[in-house]
A and B are shown apart, each in its own frame.
Chain A
Amino acid sequence: GAGVSQSPSNKVTEKGKDVELRCDPISGHTALYWYRQSLGQGLEFLIYFQGNSAPDKSGLPSDRFSAERTGGSVSTLTIQRTQQEDSAVYLCATRQLNLSSYNEQFFGPGTRLTVL
């Protein structure tokens, strides 16, 4: 497809389990962002990739969270030993990088994570 895709769309897991969330960017978009949004709250920045490197991972809440990106394309966000407070919608967005600073971010539909 032409848009950003994320999988799974919904994930229910038990406390203490690890989960892996996937983002497939728009082809050619070198910048990739992960955000988290709890119910009724704003977007919380987690990490940003430029190509395969992550110049800014300042938003990762704890060392249980990690992310990687391979081939400048697919990215995975891994949460180890999930806690109930990790329950949220995890959104991925991608953006084309060029001289213009007005390139918009395109968001995927998100993964709704529920930790029981």
Chain B
Amino acid sequence: RKEVEQDPGPFNVPEGATVAFNCTYSNSASQSFFWYRQDCRKEPKLLMSVYSSGNEDGRFTAQLNRASQYISLLIRDSKLSDSATYLCVVNKLGYQKVTFGTGTKLQVIP
């Protein structure tokens, strides 16, 4: 089983829709979690960190479920500019190496 697993998609959604992605991780010692965004032919950039209490940034909400070992990203009112690949990132306790998922591709269509 991969350390971090994501549905590769693509998720094709109309503008204005709400879309959610999940990411599962296998190591219960995982400590910190992130969502990165990668545009086509660009480097990944941090979208948001995922805290135990969950966090929200505008149209984006991230949640962590430690019991089931997954994190989620919810995007409300999708914009065309949200089209990208969303990478789930997991960091193990006391270990500086981070593990990236293979990404979920989102395409928002007019």
Cβ contacts B72-103/A at 8 Å (1 or 0 each)? 00000000000000010101010011111111
Shortest Cβ distance from residue A28 to the other chain B in the assembled complex, whole angstroms: 15
* Pair A101/B31 contact, Cβ less than 8 Å: yes
**CB-CB nearest in chain A for B34:** A104
Bound together, the chains give a CA A38 to CA B49 distance in angstroms of 26
Which listed residue, B46, B91, B99, touches A101 by the CB 8 Å rule? B91
Known: A101-B32, A104-B34, A104-B49. A45 touches B43 (CB 8 A): no
- A108 engages B100 (CB within 8 Å): no
Within 8 Å of chain B (Cβ to Cβ): is A113? no
Interface band, chain B: 20 to 34
Interface hits, A9-40 → B, CB 8 Å: 31, 33, 35
Instruction: Indicate if B44 sits at the interface (CB-CB under 8 A).
Output: yes
Q: Determine how close the nearest CB of chain B comes to the CB of A6; give it in whole angstroms.
A: 9
Pick the residue among A31, A41, A45, A104 that contacts B46 (CB under 8 A).
A104
Chain A interface category by residue count: 20 to 34
Given A102-B49, A107-B43, the answer on whether A45 and B97 have CB atoms closer than 8 Å is yes
Please judge, given known A-B contacts A101-B91, A109-B43, A110-B43, whether A45 and B32 are in contact too, CB under 8 Å. Answer: no
Known A56-B97, A104-B49; contact A43-B32, beta-carbon cutoff 8 A: no
User: Which A residues are closer than 8 A to B by beta carbons?
Assistant: 31, 33, 35, 41-43, 45, 48, 50, 55-56, 91, 95, 97, 101-102, 104-105, 107-110
Q: Residues of B with Cβ closer than 8 Å to A?
A: 31-32, 34, 42-46, 49, 51, 87, 89, 91, 93, 96-103
